[in-house]
Amino acid sequence: MKLFVGLDVSLEKTAICVISEHGKIVKEAQVASEPKALSCWICDQDGAIAAVGLEAGPLSQWLHRGLSDAGRPVVLMETRQVKGALKAMPIKTDRRDAEGIARLLHLGWFRPVHCKSVSAQEVRAVLSPRKAVQQGFITLEMSLRGLLRNFGLKVGTISRGRFEQRIRELAAGNPMLEAATEPMLRARSALRRELAGLERNVRQLSQEDPVCRRLMSMPGIGAVVALTYRSAVDDPARFTSSKKVGPWVGLTPSRNQSGERDISGGITKAGDVNLRRALCQAATVMMYEEGQKTVRGTVFPTIGGRASWLRTWAAKLARRRGAKRAMVGLAHRIAVILHRMWKDDTLPRT
């Protein structure tokens, strides 16, 4: 008898539901969220394990790798689809979620998710702290500006190097403001040093990776964007066509059609949010930053430096549909081109 095993993973315990090939619940249990414990429990079941399914989440990559190494037929299931299906259940518990995952597995109504390699997860482990430190650094600066603004003290436009001196100048002579700003300035200084160290680490990783060096040969693609793309895609062979990368990242228009209604809305925003943000930043750099040395137009900035077919295409699209749509369209094209460069081992077309 074929068995379908659904796992609802939490931090300490994992709810398990086993369903037979006829749709009948065979067994339910709770096991520690450890690959060895789960593998031993699954091995003790009477019957042939057809598939083991778990929802993609924080622990899923680790558990998937451990169960795969133990020889279990495990699959990762797309989070948005699983959550949408489980919403139909009137009562939500871990036990019922495990049953719902097992039934989705039994029916085959699920979308498998790629389990990232260890190297890709390690790269993301470097990019995530960099983003967290950068956000903390910016938050501190904005808090200092808001703190002084309450007293009519305006920091204004100033470089990062002179920011600390400017804050001390504005707070001078007021003991309460000095006592309030000094700890924040010390914390900002520490975050700035750590951020500089992480930036060096990111640049070194990108220079040591041949794939990242190739991706960075495209205008607008820096070390952060290349590493983000490298770690998110992980294996270019899992896309049968480069055109499928755009919808996977969520850079294609959504559609809601029913009867006489047919609405095309904004982008779907599916997939990796960090990769989507990085691609949009790369498109913005290609559209705007390269043109800052020249004159900006009223609709679309004049592109500086060497012209390219991609910039020309984005400029024409911006004049027809607006700069925001052109940025999204350019990000979509960048994602497709980077995948083709990676898969074919080629350089971008000028």
pLDDT in tens, the chain (350 residues): 899 999 999 999 999 999 999 999 999 999 999 999 999 999 999 889 999 999 998 899 999 999 999 999 999 999 989 999 999 888 899 999 999 999 999 999 898 999 999 999 999 999 999 999 999 999 999 999 999 999 999 999 999 999 999 999 999 999 999 999 999 999 999 999 999 999 999 999 999 999 999 999 998 899 999 999 999 999 999 999 999 999 999 999 998 998 888 898 889 998 899 999 999 999 998 887 644 433 334 333 333 445 678 888 999 999 999 999 999 999 999 999 999 999 998 888 76
**pLDDT of 212:** 95
- Residue type at 4 in one-letter notation: F
Rounded-to-integer distance, Cα 307 and Cα 219, Å? 11
Q: What are the backbone dihedrals phi and psi of residue 326, each rounded to the nearest 5 degrees, phi first?
A: -65, -40
Type of residue numbered 291: G
Amino acid in the structure at residue 338: L
The Cα 252–Cα 328 span in angstroms is 9
Write the burial class of residue 17 (CB in 10 Å: 0-12 exposed, 13-18 middle, 19+ buried): buried
Going from the C-alpha of 134 to that of each of 139, 205, 216, 257, 279, the distances in angstroms are: 9, 18, 22, 41, 18
Q: How far is CA 197 from CA 190, 194, 202, in A?
A: 11, 5, 9
